[in-house]
Each structure stands twice: as structure tokens, then as C-alpha cells.
């Protein structure tokens, strides 16, 4: 069993992730759960379980990121998601470029420099449009599980235009579309297009340095990936575990090169 | 019922009331208050846990001057002629004519700093004013309708001067004021015709109206004196701000936001000149001793746009804790950078020129150039562009400005979404997260 060199904790708004790395910076263990209201208690439990599984003691530094990072008493340091995602993806994909991280509460576009540090970034404005929450919320209205969203949007033959980028107003738009007998998959396709539209304007703002990279929970959604590639006319590459990149980056910041 | 009758809180004072409450008791009480403040500031023990060095001693004088100004305002109606003016209005002739000047924008900022702006703005919103309107306008209209103000009472205007060199909202805002107060409104439009800056017909019109209302002609000697003070005050203010080109900077832009009160509300008055002379002496002493406004100045940053008035104290402390000193701002600079244009020998010509050239009446490209110059002169590590929800003219172009600053100068630049006076348009958690990421970016470059 490899020795645990550091643990990264990403206490996100939707999911809570822990990643343990060895001295070479390789992932040796991880945990992922939906975020509970008392994230600090949840992290304590997950941390104990992870250490137990890996036979690790409390000596390895723990670095926290994500919205709940300041609540994590076990953390030796806390760092924003921007720096952590940049570091995690840089290590996982081995290249500089433009990273799009779409999380539950925030979406951000980060320009990763040649040393893996963020050179520039842009975040969505104070509104849920363009975040995972937008899809989650509107999908719930259609009764579609989050995991099926991308596939169904891609399989739709038509696309319903969703004009509102506001999550709440988009929901009322969906209700009207359903009342008019629109195909739910076509609505889903339109919703994805709307989200991608918001993200792409941020990407253009920060500037595209190929390749485009994706991380965060929404990266698992095929339709988002395909539509970003289409809108930017660039290839989109993903690390193997996009959702863990924040926690991975945090662990790497624990002193591993 | 006329509109004015619907505002019973605007009452006239008698000369006796003014004499007793302002001249006799008020001024003395404020002087005593200042002595107490000075004593407290001198005896203030160093606080090792604070990221900030002790405040400037001159702040006690500033408090006295501004409090005295607002106190005088309480008793101005009925005892002096009163003009309400926009922050970029050519006020020097009015001062020479003895007008008491009310700056609604400054008053709204005062409500913001005292954290009363939201509840006062809601008074306007309840009366049907849209939340999309400038939060200064909403705060002042709310104060006008309800009489709520941390200043105690504002005097009713005898005339209104609206100059469009800061925005177009003031045009509509002042027409509303004219309706309510049933008084003359002089509109000074400032089109982007900089080569026509010698045209001062509008300023002459304003002087005629003001003379008529005051019932006396403009005294040219007094006017020249006011112009001299205006120029000297603006020069000193610019000197004050430029002292922050030193490392460490002896003051922060947040100090600047507070200390700009006199140059905004009382430019042209000798008290303003004396105040900034005092402030400059104190800053020079700090520079000589190598004392900065914050204890550990690691990063030097520029602030663009209006302050977030309701967050000034928190931001100052929070940024200080992270080793960030906001050493300059385009906003405070606006009251000093035109000083060289003020020519007391040619008052009307130079006023026409000065009041056509504020940063908000120039192009977005000009603002970018000014910011680049400041990045260089103040040796800055980053720029925070406050994207102000309800100040569109100042926020216009910021996305491109941010882009150019970070791409051509390689300076980390952050777009921070908030509002100058409405706390409902700022989210603490998200704001702090962006600021932290911005600091990490500066760290990465250090």
C-alpha cells in the first residue's frame, strides 16, 4: 500500500470530495458524497474512513477547498477552487490551456499557465444560470435524473429554444413548453444550449488557449461537452475523474511537486 | 395638495434657531467632540492583532468639518439660499454667491456608510421607483419622500443644478426633484465635444439664475477667491492621493473614499484647503518614517469604480489581513486629476474645460489609459474592477478594460460584482471567494 502524502478536501456546494495522493502525486484513494448540511461533520467522517481504508495516520497534511473550506478544522491550509482545479487538471492532463469548471454553484473559466498556476479566471455572475444548479433544477421539473440529462439531450431530434438564462424563469418557460406539448428531450437540449451559451461567453472573455479542458461535476454530461466543443470549434479534453480535480489539486498543493 | 406639501419634513429655520443651534452650540459641541477624538486617537494603543496601522490623526478634523457642514444644512432653509447639485456641477459661482450646497450623491453615500441606504431606498421602491435605477437616486428620493436621513435633516433647495458629466440618470432624477420642490432647475449638458470647451454659455445662464434667486450680483473678487481655493484644494487632494505611490503607501483607497468628503462637498472653500494641507503633512510624516496604512503590504492594487460604501470597513480590514493594500482608485482621482486645468485667471473658460473632462465624460479607452498609467505610477500588482450593478456609465467597458489590463500588462484583474449603495446586490460569500482567488493569482506571480 502506498503511503499517503497529502489529502485534498473539496467541500463543494453540491458534492463533497476527498482525494488522497502518494509522494508521486498519484491518486491512492478517494471519496465522493452529496454535501450534507453539516459539511464539517461529514468531512470528519469521510476523512476518518479514507484514512482507515488506506491505513494512513493523521500526519499527512489536509488541504481544503470549495465553499465549505473554512469550516474544515482538520485542514492545514485552505485554497480557492480556482487554484486547486488548475493544479489538479494541469497534473492530470499535463498541459496548460483553458479550463472550464462547471460546478454546482459556480462556473469558472481558468487560464492555466505553463507552471500549472492560474493566470486569469472569470466566474459566473451572482446567479445560478450557467451552473450545474441550473440543469439540476430544471431537470427536476422534467422528472429526469441528472445522470440521464446529457444522453437524452443529445438524442433529441429537435431543440426548443429556452430564452431565459434565469433559472427560475427558465423553469416557468419549461412549464409553458410542456403545456404546449413540447418534447421533453427537445426542451433538455435547449436547456443545455442555454447553459453552454453562458459558459462560452466567459470562455471568450478569458480567451481560448487550446485545448479546452473540462472539470467539475457537469463535465460528466456528454451534451455539455459536445456543445462546448461545437460552440468553440475546439476539441474538449477531460481528465479521467473531472469531479475530483478540485480535491486532487488541493492534495497536490500539500507539498507534492 | 402640491408635491411639496407632501413633504412636511422640509421646514424652514429662523435666524435665531440657526444662531443658537449651529453657530453657538453646534459648532462648539463639534469642536469639543473633535478634541475628544484627537485625545482618543493619540492615546490609542497599538493593536498587534489588527492588520491595519492606527488611523490618520487628521480624521478627527475631517469628522468635525463634515459634521459641521451637515449640521449647518439642517438650519440652512430659510436662512441661506440652498442649491442641490450633482457631484460634477460647476459650483464655484454658487459658493461665491453664498449658497449652501447639498450634494445628494454624497448624502446617499453617507446613508450607505451608515448602512441605512437600503431601508431608505426601499421608501422610494415602495413609491414605485424601479430597483434598476441608480441606488444613489433611490436612496435620495427615498430620503426626500420619507424624511429619513442619518444627517438629521436636509434643507429644501431654492435651485437645482444638474450637470450631465457624470451620468444621464441625474437628468431624470433632477427633473423629479424640480417637480417636487417646485424650484428652478438649471441643466448643464456636457456633450463629448472637447474642442468646444471654451463655450460657457450654460455656466453663465446658471450664474444669472443663481443671482436672481440670491437677489445679488456675483462678487468677482469673492469668485476669484473661490476659484483659487478650488484649484489649491484639488491640487492638494491630488498630492494626497499621489503620496500612495510610496512603498508602503501611507493611506489606502478606503481612507481616500472617506477623506474625499471635503473636496466633493466643499471644494472652493478655505477649510478644504487647510484640511488637505494638514492631511498632507501627516502623510509626509508617515512616508518619512516608512509607516504604511497596512502593516504588511504585500500587494498593491487599484480600485476602479465607486466604492461599495456599505462594505468599506470590512473590505479594508479583510484585504489588509491578506496583505493587500488598495493604494489607488480611479474614483478618488477624479476629484484631483483635473486640478491643472483650473485657471482662476480665466474662471469661466477653465470651468467649461474642467467640467467637460471628468473621467466619466470621457471614453472607455481614456479610462483604460488612465488605469494603465496608474498601474505604472503606483507600481501595482493587480486591479479590482467593481462592476457596479446600478452605475452603468462607470461600469461600461470594464469587461474589455479588464481584458486589456490582464493581457497587455499581465496584471491580474478581477471583475467584482456589487453595487455602490445597495447591499442586496452583493453576495459576501461569492465576493470573498473571487477576491481570494485574485490574491492567489497575485501570489502566483510574485
CATH number assigned to the domain comprising residue A12: 3.30.420.40
pLDDT mean over B276-295:
97
CATH of the domain at B336: 3.40.50.11900
Give the model confidence (pLDDT) of B332-365 as tens digits. 999 999 999 999 999 999 999 999 999 999 999 9
Sign of the Cα torsion B223, B229, B230, B235 reads positive
B193 vs B386 pLDDT, higher one: B386
Indicate if the pLDDT at residue B1 is higher than 60.
no
For residue A190, is it within any domain? no
Q: Is residue A17 part of a domain?
A: yes
CB B140 within 8 A of CB B117: no
SS (H, E, C) B91-113: CHHHHHCCCEEECHHHHHHHHHH
Could you tell me if B201 and B282 lie in one domain? no
Q: Is A131 on the interface with B (CB under 8 A)?
A: no
Q: Chain B contact for A240, CB < 8 A?
A: no
Q: Which residues of B touch A (CB under 8 A)?
A: 399, 403, 406-407, 412, 415, 417, 425, 427, 429-430, 433-434, 436-437, 440-441, 444
Of B218, B250, B284, the residue that ends a domain is B218
Looking at the domain assignment, is residue A21 inside a domain? yes
Task: Give contacts of B415 with chain A, Cβ < 8 Å.
Answer: 122
What are the beta bridge partners of residue B441?
A: none
pLDDT of residue A256: 61
Its pTM stands at 0.92
Q: Single out the residue of B43, B48, B58 nearest to residue B285, CA to CA.
A: B58
Tell me whether A119 touches chain B (CB under 8 Å).
Answer: yes
Model confidence pLDDT, tens digit, residues B36-51: 999 999 998 888 999 9
Which pLDDT score is estimated for B362? 95
For the stretch A98-151, pLDDT in tens is 999 998 778 899 999 999 999 999 987 766 667 888 888 888 888 899 899 999
Whether residue A156 lies within 8 A of chain B, CB to CB, comes out as: no
Out of B186, B218, B250, pick the residue that ends a domain.
B218
What is the pLDDT of chain B when averaged over all its residues?
95
Instruction: Assign residue B38 the CATH number of its domain.
Output: 3.40.50.11890
Contacts of residue B40, defined as CB under 8 A and 6 or more positions apart, other chains included, come to none
Same-domain check for residues B227 and B213 = no
Domain shared by B273 and B343, yes or no = yes
Q: Which residue of B has its CA nearest to A106?
A: B430
| Whether residues B128 and B186 fall in one domain | yes
Q: Are B205 and B429 in contact (CB under 8 A)?
A: no
What is the model's pLDDT at position B2? Answer: 62
Q: Is A127 on the interface with B (CB under 8 A)?
A: no
Q: State how many domains chain A has.
A: 1
Question: B235 and B184 in one domain?
Answer: no
| Same domain, residue pair B142 and B214 | yes
- Lowest mean pLDDT: which of A74-83, A127-136, B81-90, B262-271? A127-136
**Helices A184-206 and A222-232: crossing angle, nearest 10°?**
50
Indicate whether A241 pLDDT > 60.
yes
In a domain, A172, yes or no: no
For A97, phi then psi, to 5°, come to 155, -165
- Domain's final residue, options B218, B244, B267: B218
Tell me how far apart the alpha carbons of residues B59 and B37 are, in angstroms, rounded to a whole number.
Answer: 9
For A19, the domain range is: 6-84+245-252
Alpha-carbon gap: A168 to the closest alpha carbon of chain B (Å): 18
In this prediction the ipTM stands at 0.86
Whether residue B244 sits in one domain with residue B132: no
Which DSSP symbol is given to A117?
S
Inter-chain residue contact A205 with B399, CB threshold 8 Å: yes
The set of residues, in sequence order, having a beta carbon less than 8 Å from that of B208 and lying 6+ positions away, is none
CA distance B349 to B218: 17
Does residue B193 sit in the same domain as residue B338? no
Are B64 and B93 within one domain?
Answer: yes
Q: Is the pLDDT of residue A257 over 80?
A: no
Total domains in chain B come to 2
Question: What is the gyration radius of the CA atoms in chain A, in angstroms?
Answer: 19
CA distance B246 to B290: 9
Please tell me the distance from the alpha carbon of residue B224 to that of residue B143, in angstroms, as a whole number.
35
Overall average pLDDT of the B244-272 stretch: 96
Nearest to A83 among B403, B425, B437 (CB): B437
The pLDDT value recorded for residue A2 is 63
Domain encompassing residue B99: 4-218
Say yes or no: B360 and B326 in one domain: yes
**Which residue would you say has higher pLDDT here, A57 or B205?**
B205
Scan for cell 499621489, then name that residue: B242
Amino acid at each position: 500500500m502506498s503511503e499517503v502524502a497529502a489529502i485534498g478536501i473539496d467541500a463543494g456546494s453540491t458534492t463533497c470530495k476527498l482525494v488522497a495522493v502518494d509522494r508521486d502525486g498519484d491518486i491512492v484513494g478517494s471519496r465522493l458524497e452529496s454535501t450534507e448540511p453539516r459539511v464539517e461533520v461529514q468531512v470528519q467522517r469521510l476523512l476518518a474512513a479514507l484514512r482507515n481504508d488506506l491505513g494512513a495516520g493523521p500526519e499527512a497534511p489536509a488541504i481544503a477547498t470549495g465553499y465549505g473550506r473554512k469550516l474544515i478544522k482538520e485542514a492545514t491550509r485552505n485554497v480557492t477552487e480556482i487554484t486547486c482545479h488548475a493544479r489538479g487538471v494541469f497534473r492530470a492532463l499535463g498541459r496548460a490551456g483553458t479550463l472550464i469548471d462547471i460546478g454546482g454553484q459556480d462556473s469558472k473559466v481558468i487560464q492555466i499557465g505553463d507552471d500549472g498556476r492560474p493566470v486569469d479566471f472569470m466566474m459566473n455572475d451572482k446567479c445560478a444560470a450557467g451552473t450545474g444548479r441550473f440543469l439540476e433544477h430544471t431537470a427536476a421539473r422534467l422528472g429526469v435524473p441528472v445522470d440521464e440529462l446529457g444522453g437524452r439531450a443529445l438524442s433529441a431530434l429537435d431543440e426548443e429554444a429556452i430564452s431565459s438564462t434565469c433559472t427560475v424563469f427558465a423553469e416557468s418557460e419549461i412549464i409553458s413548453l410542456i403545456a404546449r406539448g413540447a418534447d421533453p428531450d427537445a426542451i433538455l437540449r435547449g436547456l443545455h444550449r442555454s447553459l453552454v451559451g453562458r459558459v462560452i461567453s466567459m470562455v471568450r472573455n478569458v480567451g481560448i488557449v487550446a485545448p479546452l479542458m473540462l472539470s467539475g461535476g457537469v463535465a460528466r454530461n456528454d451534451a455539455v461537452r459536445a456543445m462546448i466543443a461545437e460552440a468553440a470549434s475546439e476539441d474538449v479534453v477531460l481528465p479521467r475523474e473531472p469531479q475530483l480535480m478540485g480535491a486532487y489539486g488541493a492534495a497536490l498543493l500539500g507539498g507534492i511537486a | 395638495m402640491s408635491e411639496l406639501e407632501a413633504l412636511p419634513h422640509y421646514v424652514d429655520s429662523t435666524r435665531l434657531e440657526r444662531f443658537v443651534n449651529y453657530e453657538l452650540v453646534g459648532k462648539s459641541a463639534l469642536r469639543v467632540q473633535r478634541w475628544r477624538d484627537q485625545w482618543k486617537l493619540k492615546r490609542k494603543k497599538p493593536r498587534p492583532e489588527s492588520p491595519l496601522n492606527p488611523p490618520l490623526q487628521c480624521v478627527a478634523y475631517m469628522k468635525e468639518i463634515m459634521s459641521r457642514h451637515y449640521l449647518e444644512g439642517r438650519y440652512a432653509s430659510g436662512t441661506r439660499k440652498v442649491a442641490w447639485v450633482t457631484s460634477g456641477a460647476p459650483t464655484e459661482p454658487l459658493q461665491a454667491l453664498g449658497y449652501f450646497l447639498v450634494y445628494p450623491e454624497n448624502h446617499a453615500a453617507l446613508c450607505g456608510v451608515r448602512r441605512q441606504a437600503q431601508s431608505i431606498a426601499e421608501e422610494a421602491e415602495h413609491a414605485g421607483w424601479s430597483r434598476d435605477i441608480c441606488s444613489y437616486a433611490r436612496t435620495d428620493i427615498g430620503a426626500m419622500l420619507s424624511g429619513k436621513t442619518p444627517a438629521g435633516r436636509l434643507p429644501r433647495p431654492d435651485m437645482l443644478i444638474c450637470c450631465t458629466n457624470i451620468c444621464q440618470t441625474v437628468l431624470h432624477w433632477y427633473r423629479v426633484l424640480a417637480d417636487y420642490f417646485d424650484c428652478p432647475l438649471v441643466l448643464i449638458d456636457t456633450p463629448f465635444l472637447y474642442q468646444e470647451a471654451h463655450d460657457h454659455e450654460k455656466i453663465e445662464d446658471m450664474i444669472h439664475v443663481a443671482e436672481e434667486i440670491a437677489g445679488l450680483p456675483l462678487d468677482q473678487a469673492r469668485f476669484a477667491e473661490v476659484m483659487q481655493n478650488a484649484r489649491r484644494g484639488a491640487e492638494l487632494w491630488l498630492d494626497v492621493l499621489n503620496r500612495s505611490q510610496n512603498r508602503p503607501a501611507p493611506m489606502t483607497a478606503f481612507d481616500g473614499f472617506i477623506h474625499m468628503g471635503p473636496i466633493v462637498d466643499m471644494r472652493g472653500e478655505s477649510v478644504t484647503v487647510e484640511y488637505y494641507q494638514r492631511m498632507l503633512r501627516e502623510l509626509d510624516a508617515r512616508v518619512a518614517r516608512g509607516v504604511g496604512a497596512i502593516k504588511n503590504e504585500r500587494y498593491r492594487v487599484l480600485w476602479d469604480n465607486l466604492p461599495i460604501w456599505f462594505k468599506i470597513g470590512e473590505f479594508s480590514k479583510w484585504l489588509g489581513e491578506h496583505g493587500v493594500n488598495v493604494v489607488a482608485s480611479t474614483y478618488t482621482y477624479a476629484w484631483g486629476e483635473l486640478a491643472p486645468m483650473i485657471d482662476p485667471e480665466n474662471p469661466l473658460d477653465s470651468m467649461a474645460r474642467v467640467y467637460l473632462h471628468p473621467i466619466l465624460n470621457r471614453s472607455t479607452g481614456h479610462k483604460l489609459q488612465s488605469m494603465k498609467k496608474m498601474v505604472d505610477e503606483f507600481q501595482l500588482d493587480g486591479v479590482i474592477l467593481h462592476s457596479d450593478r446600478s452605475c452603468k456609465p462607470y461600469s461600461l467597458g470594464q469587461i474589455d478594460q479588464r481584458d486589456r489590463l490582464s493581457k497587455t500588462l499581465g496584471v491580474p484583474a478581477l471583475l467584482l460584482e456589487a453595487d455602490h449603495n445597495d447591499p442586496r446586490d452583493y453576495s459576501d460569500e461569492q465576493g470573498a471567494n473571487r477576491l481570494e482567488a485574485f490574491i492567489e493569482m497575485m501570489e502566483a506571480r510574485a
